Structure 1
Amino acid sequence: MTTIRCTVMQTPSPDTLEVLRDVVITIDESGTITAIDDGDAGIAVDRDLGSSVVVVPGLIDAHIHAPQWPQLGTGLDLPLEQWLFDNTFPLEAKLTDPAFAAVVWPDMVDTLLRHGTTTAVYYATISVETTTMLAAVCAELGQRAFVGRVGMDHPDGTPEWYRDASAVAGVDASMASIEQISQLGSPLVRPIVTPRFAPACTDALLEGLGELARSTSTISQTHCSESDWEHGYAFERFGRSDTEALDGFGLIADHSVLAHGDHLGDADFELITRRGAGVAHCPLSNAYFANAVFPARRALDAGVRLGLGTDVAGGARPGVLSQCGDAVTMSRMLDEGVDARVEPSERGVTGSRISITEAFWMATLGGADLLGVPCGLLEVGRQFDAVAVDLDAGTSGLRRWEGVDDDARTFEKIVRLAGPTDIAEVWVRGNTVIS
């Protein structure tokens, strides 16, 4: 057993900020929280984090492309389909080289942990070997992760030099990836079935991966209605929405992760909710590639499972906290509109705003619910995935001013301003992974 005395800030529901001031958290050998007691209860503690530190639940990045890590911050001036062929596919092909992957994967995972990303949902490469290497690095460095070998075989939607040889080969490779990741025996790392998106996959591959997910009880992830191009492509090819087509292939099920979803309609939300799937909202990336703002408010009100994603490298920042602020900003722009030439009453989509509390909930408990993992909130029975933020680190704009900042203001400052220099410690499954 380990006991930690600290103050906790967290969001047990989208509209609730909970502050547990000066409590003692007891964590067992499996990393599970067994008790949360008042700090005055006289319980002996192993660690006292002091009054300047606030502990928040570990952050969940529900959508990230691991082989795009070396291009982070570049190439964002191109349309999505051109960006993929000119920049992304060539780089991803390089990450099928184990020697290069051995350099990139540890750098990425360590950096994300330093940003407080305790759980990540990865698209890897088409290579079984380097996908398994990524899973092994996550296990070694202590990050909770879902790691997916990317399936892609369509001759029009992929380059000849970076695709599966056939649908059968793609399904077989994904099966091998599931087996190899499972054989690692890590309690933190799980495989995830990953067709890239409809334009990159033949019907046979989509159907085969849907069946693979069902038969192996493995959750799936893919992109869905991200942009005008992808959304329109589904109607042209399948005669129905991206959501309906993916559902027909068995790729929308309990805990399926649909990235972006900016162009989803009410019927799509209803289908996603009925299946128990959800959306990884990537607000910064959407500003570059989606041609629209994701209607987070409407999705929340519809009961859609929601997490936040960086979409590295479509999103140019690696931390999930910054995505919380971006999500709020984008919702305000959708609510109020952006073209001053349009009358205010007609300029925006009124009622689209979300709060910083709702955004943080997506980044923690919302993401945990989307994935079906026992973290995202510091409560008895859940795993102790947590981030300690030092309010007195003094190396960023994060400050707490006595007599000015109450709990709500302090929480908002943490979410909007905290970065690696303010993060004093990170735990996953009760183990310190960054200190």
Structure 2
Amino acid sequence: MKVIEGSTITSASESTIDCHQHQLVVIDDQGYIARTVDETDRDFASIKATAAQAGQLTTLGADEYLLPGFIDLHVHAPQWPNAGVALDRPLNEWLDTYTFPTEAKYKDVAFAKRVYDDLVGELLANGTTTVLYFGSVDNPANLELAKACINHNQRGFIGKVAMDNPDQTPENYRDASAQSAVADTERFIHQLDQLNQTASIKQTAVITPRFVPSCTPESLKGLGKLAKKYDLPVQSHCSESDWENGYALAHYHKRDSEVLDEYGLLTDKAVMAHGTLLNQSDLDTFKARGVAVAHCPISNVYFGNAVLPVSKLLEQHVKVGLGTDISGGYSPSIYQNIRQAVMSSRMLNDGVNSELRPEQRGTSHQPISAKNGFYLATVGGAKSLHLQTGQIKAGYLADLQIVKSPLKAFDDESMDQVFEKIMYHASKADIKQVFVQGKLAATANS
């Protein structure tokens, strides 16, 4: 049994938080939160004394706070060396000139190991305890990503990227055929099962068609069958940009959501990235199927061609969480993405074209708050991945971050004020310790 003593902040709903100035968070041997104990509870002192005597008590400083770990729903792991590169280019040019050549380097397993060890440590150091990863085409490299997650104590959902369309993928970086794309995906599922036999924090295989332009109908069909056969999560991109959206309409005479749905890839375990151009029909399908949206606000500024109306999705009970989208998003920090999500939502509401009259300029989509963003980063991500985590609550996985308040307080501050300062100012330097399933994670700060 481990016990963490201090102030706690957790999401209570889409727009509210639950704060406690002084609590004990009791973690059991399986890595779950057994209970939270308030100062007013009768056994507070005895639980604290027992944990201290056993050397299992962690006490936070007066300016430190315990928060749930963040969940990143969209990371292209092999793109980490390119973070911040060529973000001024159109999406298709960015892919062909920069992204695909970088991902092709992961045929070199030693290179993969070096990059992924750094990436996983960096994400953990930024408070991210669970990540939904796109890997690369090459399975040996994808296994190195899984090993890095295991070694650092991070929970990874990892997909072997399938991309077999010769018209939209380079000759030196694609699956040889639809059959090999599906067969290699199934092989990775079994290889990861083997790796999990000795892992304390299990990794999950994810069915990963890159997106509709990169895949042939045959590979999409085969991947849909695998998702059903093994009851696994699915990840892809959907309605990400004008170019991607237009490709499905031109080649299939359908929206990309309809194409993915036709092949069994929109399930209640599916997470679709971006969605800036989803229409109401798409959202109706997502809600009916239980599909989640990975909102990537920084990346969407560069490649999304629109702003995702987050408040609309929340109002319609469509699952939504946050993603950094490395390297389309330059920052590995979910904190940075919370900030951008709030800013983008305000710009969507207010409008950006000063040549229009004020009443014509904006939209009816309400801006979101830091509390909404915190919900997306924790509870929203957990619901999207069907995980019992994202809150400081009995029965939930102990995925936690200890964060130092980044700004000096010059007067008495409410917990709401402390929370907002953390959301708007915290950086990697302020994150002191990270726990995944009760285990101390190996971070870039370690």
- For the 8 Å contact 1:328–1:355, the answer to whether it is kept is yes
Deviates more, 1:14-23 or 1:181-190: 181-190
Deviates more, 1:413-422 or 1:81-90: 413-422
Paired amino acid for 1:114: A
- For the 8 Å contact 1:328–1:353, the answer to whether it is kept is yes
- For the 8 Å contact 1:96–1:125, the answer to whether it is kept is no
1:242-297 superposed Cα distances (whole Å, 9 cap, x missing partner):
11111111000012000000000111111111111110000000000011111111
**One of 422, 431, 434 as aligned partner of 1:423:** 431
Residue equivalent to 1:17: 17
Q: Which runs of 4+ in 1 moved over 4 A?
A: none
Quote the RMSD (CA, aligned, Å): 1.1
1:69-116 superposed Cα distances (whole Å, 9 cap, x missing partner):
001111111100110000000000002210111110101111111001
- For the 8 Å contact 1:55–1:387, the answer to whether it is kept is yes
TM-score, normalising length: structure 2? 0.94
- For the 8 Å contact 2:309–2:365, the answer to whether it is kept is no
Residue equivalent to 1:358: 372
Residue equivalent to 1:88: 99
Taking the aligned partners of 2:412 and 2:20, their CA distance within structure 1 comes to 20
**Mapping 1:168-317, distance limit 5 Å:** 168-185=179-196, 186=199, 187-317=201-331
SS at match of 1:250: coil
Aligned length: 429
Q: Does 1:33 align with 2:33?
A: yes
Identical amino acids, percent of aligned pairs: 41
Taking the aligned partners of 2:344 and 2:2, their CA distance within structure 1 comes to 41
Residue equivalent to 1:98: 109
Deviation at 1:352, TM superposition (A): 2.8
Q: Does 1:56 align with 2:64?
A: no
**Mapping 1:21-170, distance limit 5 Å:** 21-40=21-40, 41-42=44-45, 43-44=47-48, 45=51, 46-170=57-181
- For the 8 Å contact 1:142–1:188, the answer to whether it is kept is no
Taking the aligned partners of 1:365 and 1:77, their CA distance within structure 2 comes to 33
Deviates more, 1:380-389 or 1:17-26: 17-26
Paired amino acid for 1:331: S
Deviation at 1:402, TM superposition (A): 4.2
1:339-384 superposed Cα distances (whole Å, 9 cap, x missing partner):
1111110111123311110011000010000011111111011110
SS at match of 1:13: coil
Residue equivalent to 2:54: none
Taking the aligned partners of 2:324 and 2:407, their CA distance within structure 1 comes to 25
Paired amino acid for 1:91: T
Deviation at 1:233, TM superposition (A): 1.3
**One of 407, 410, 413 as aligned partner of 2:421:** 413
Taking the aligned partners of 2:226 and 2:380, their CA distance within structure 1 comes to 26
Deviation at 1:404, TM superposition (A): 5.3
Paired amino acid for 1:126: V
Residue equivalent to 1:399: 407
Taking the aligned partners of 1:331 and 1:405, their CA distance within structure 2 comes to 27
1:249–1:353 distance in 2 versus 1, CA, 3 Å: same
Q: Does 1:344 align with 2:344?
A: no
Paired amino acid for 1:246: L
Taking the aligned partners of 1:89 and 1:351, their CA distance within structure 2 comes to 36
Taking the aligned partners of 1:47 and 1:426, their CA distance within structure 2 comes to 12
SS at match of 2:12: strand
SS at match of 2:136: coil
Taking the aligned partners of 2:247 and 2:316, their CA distance within structure 1 comes to 25
Deviation at 1:238, TM superposition (A): 1.7
Deviation at 1:6, TM superposition (A): 1.5
- For the 8 Å contact 2:232–2:269, the answer to whether it is kept is no
1:162-191 superposed Cα distances (whole Å, 9 cap, x missing partner):
000000000000001111112111333111
5+ residue gaps, structure 1, are 392-397
Taking the aligned partners of 1:400 and 1:430, their CA distance within structure 2 comes to 30
Paired amino acid for 2:435: W
**One of 287, 299, 324 as aligned partner of 2:338:** 324
Residue equivalent to 2:394: 380
Residue equivalent to 1:395: none
SS at match of 2:11: strand
